């Protein structure tokens, strides 16, 4: 009897030891503890400045696909008629990825990719840095028991189990990071401003301003204190509506108004690039489908976009004031 009990005790102890060894093995090989942020653990490491210095970026989430390209120091939607991206907002969202803390590291294999919903991720971000360097990050399931998320990178041989991702990138829509400003530029990017009055076929310069060392000059005279608040207000003007798609009847109405251009606004950047904006007179009639009210809005067309912006008539008075400086 004692021998039987001893045998049973030995078997039970052996079984417990096997279970403990299995758990230990899993912790070591499938759940290695980490407390670093994900891009420190990631090898080869990419710091934040590298992640923000991309040539193109694609975000795939529940709302669809957002494709972004970079030109000079500006960012635009490659699949949305090159509409401008709010760079500051985009970067603030990407910066939050740097804050993700890794709790465990798992082996990257087909079974784990499937179990952690990484085969069909809820969010995928693809970076193209240059012709030969690119990477992508996939975000899969969230563990409801400990509020952790599973993440991997294409260039990695591991899966990271991280603290729960609190980032709007999983649900963001392209409209959320659209730059609504009519002139989506920072004052520091501008070298020269030229405003032209258009009357029929006549084009006459109304104002020419030169910007140098953050000072504003007209005819070599420093008028910074007088003009700077006005230019800040002008550059902050936002579109009421951006028309990326219209039906033929609406397009015909807009075309009629665009034949009555009253201003051309040219902005020369520090890199030598010149952006031209054609500005219509105030629209006299309402267009209900575009929420245009009678005599309240005007149309601006950036020549580099060919996409009409519907803007408050306040822009007219700001340009008129600029013309008379």
Residue 3 confidence (pLDDT): 47
Torsion of CA 283, 304, 171, 136, to 10 degrees: 180
Same domain? For 136 and 201 the reply is: no
Positive or negative: CA dihedral 210, 212, 216, 221 = negative
Q: Mean pLDDT over residues 163-186, rounded?
A: 87
Q: Across all residues in the chain, what is the average pLDDT? A: 82
Same domain? For 168 and 32 the reply is: yes
Q: What would the 3-class secondary structure string for 185-230 be?
A: CCHHHEEEEEEEEEECCEEEEEEEEEEECCEEEECCEECHHHHHHH
224, pLDDT greater than 60: yes
Residue 47 confidence (pLDDT): 59
1 vs 298, residue with greater confidence: 298
Same domain? For 41 and 162 the reply is: yes
Does residue 278 lie within any of the structural domains?
yes
126, pLDDT greater than 80: yes
Domain with 289 in it = 187-323
57, pLDDT greater than 80: yes
Give buried/exposed letters for 93-114 (b at 16+ CB in 10 A, else e). Answer: bbeebeebebbbbbebeeebbe
Does residue 182 lie within any of the structural domains?
no
Q: Which residues pair with 107 in a beta bridge?
A: 158
> How distant, in Å, are the alpha carbons of 202, 254, 273, 311, 317 from that of 281?
15, 12, 26, 11, 11
Residue 25 confidence (pLDDT): 42
Same domain? For 77 and 135 the reply is: yes
* Of 133, 152, 177, the domain-final residue: 177
Give buried/exposed letters for 135-162 (b at 16+ CB in 10 A, else e). Answer: bbbbbbebeeeeebbbbbbeebebbbbb
202, pLDDT greater than 60: yes
pLDDT tens digits for range 60-80: 998 999 999 988 778 999 877
Q: Which of 114, 268, 127 lies closest to 192 in space, CA to CA?
A: 268
Chain-centre distance of CA 199, in angstroms? Answer: 39
Collapsing DSSP to helix, strand or coil, 267 comes out as strand
Same domain? For 168 and 206 the reply is: no
Does residue 9 lie within any of the structural domains?
no
* Of 177, 206, 227, the domain-final residue: 177
> How distant, in Å, are the alpha carbons of 16, 19, 22, 59 from that of 26?
15, 11, 6, 33
Residue percentage of the chain with pLDDT more than 70: 83
pLDDT tens digits for range 271-304: 899 999 999 998 888 877 777 888 899 999 898 8
Phi, psi for 196 (deg, rounded to 5): -115, 135
* Of 131, 146, 177, the domain-final residue: 177
**How many CA atoms does the CB half-sphere of 31 hold within 13 Å?**
7
247, pLDDT greater than 50: yes
Q: Mean pLDDT over residues 6-27, rounded?
A: 45
Same domain? For 166 and 217 the reply is: no
Residue 124 confidence (pLDDT): 93
23 vs 281, residue with greater confidence: 281
Same domain? For 49 and 158 the reply is: yes
Q: Mean pLDDT over residues 235-264, rounded?
A: 82
Residue 12 confidence (pLDDT): 47
Same domain? For 151 and 222 the reply is: no
Question: Whole-angstrom Cα distance, residue 253 to residue 321?
Answer: 29
Same domain? For 192 and 296 the reply is: yes
265, pLDDT greater than 50: yes
User: Domain of 285: which CATH number?
Assistant: 2.60.40
> How distant, in Å, are the alpha carbons of 10, 113, 186, 209, 215 from that of 223?
93, 62, 19, 9, 8
How many structural domains is the chain composed of?
Answer: 2
246, pLDDT greater than 60: yes
Does residue 263 lie within any of the structural domains?
yes
Q: Mean pLDDT over residues 173-192, rounded?
A: 92
Does residue 12 lie within any of the structural domains?
no
pLDDT tens digits for range 30-45: 455 544 555 555 443 3
**Greatest mean pLDDT range, 141-145, 162-166, 180-184, 287-291:** 180-184
Residue 204 confidence (pLDDT): 94
55, pLDDT greater than 80: yes
Does residue 11 lie within any of the structural domains?
no
**Greatest mean pLDDT range, 65-74, 100-109, 314-323:** 314-323
Question: Whole-angstrom Cα distance, residue 115 to residue 250?
Answer: 50
Same domain? For 29 and 169 the reply is: yes
Question: Whole-angstrom Cα distance, residue 235 to residue 76?
Answer: 18
Number of Cβ within 10 Å of residue 173's Cβ equals 13
Does residue 5 lie within any of the structural domains?
no
Does residue 4 lie within any of the structural domains?
no
Residue 30 confidence (pLDDT): 44
Same domain? For 202 and 109 the reply is: no
15, pLDDT greater than 70: no
Same domain? For 148 and 197 the reply is: no
């Amino acid at each position: 009897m004692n021998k039987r009990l001893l045998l049973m005790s030995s078997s039970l102890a052996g079984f417990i030891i096997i279970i403990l060894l299995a758990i230990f093995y899993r912790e070591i090989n499938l759940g290695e503890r980490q407390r670093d942020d994900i891009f420190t653990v990631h090898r080869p490491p990419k710091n934040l400045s590298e992640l923000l210095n991309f040539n193109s970026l694609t975000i795939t989430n529940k709302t669809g696909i957002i494709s972004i390209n970079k030109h000079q120091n500006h960012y635009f939607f490659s699949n949305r008629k090159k509409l401008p991206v709010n760079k500051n907002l985009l970067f603030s969202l990407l910066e939050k990825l740097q804050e993700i803390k890794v709790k465990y590291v798992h082996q990257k294999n087909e079974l784990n990719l499937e179990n952690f919903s990484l085969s069909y991720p809820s969010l995928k971000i693809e970076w193209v840095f240059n012709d030969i360097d690119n990477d992508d990050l996939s975000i899969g399931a969230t563990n409801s028991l400990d509020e952790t998320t599973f993440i991997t990178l294409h260039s990695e041989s591991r899966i990271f189990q991280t603290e729960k991702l609190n980032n709007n990138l999983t649900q963001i829509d392209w409209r959320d990071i659209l730059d609504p400003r009519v002139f989506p530029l920072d004052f520091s990017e501008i070298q020269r401003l030229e405003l032209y009055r258009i009357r029929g076929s006549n084009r006459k310069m109304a104002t020419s301003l030169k910007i140098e060392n953050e000072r504003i000059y007209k005819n070599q005279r420093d008028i910074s204190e007088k003009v700077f608040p006005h230019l800040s207000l002008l550059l902050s003007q936002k579109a009421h509506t951006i028309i990326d798609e219209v039906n033929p009847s609406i397009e015909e109405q807009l075309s009629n108004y665009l034949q009555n251009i009253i201003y051309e606004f040219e902005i020369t950047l520090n890199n030598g690039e010149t952006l031209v904006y054609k500005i219509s007179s105030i629209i006299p009639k309402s267009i209900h489908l575009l929420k245009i009210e009678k005599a309240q809005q005007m149309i601006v067309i950036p020549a580099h976009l060919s996409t009409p912006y519907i803007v408050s008539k306040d822009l007219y008075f700001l340009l008129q004031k600029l013309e008379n400086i």
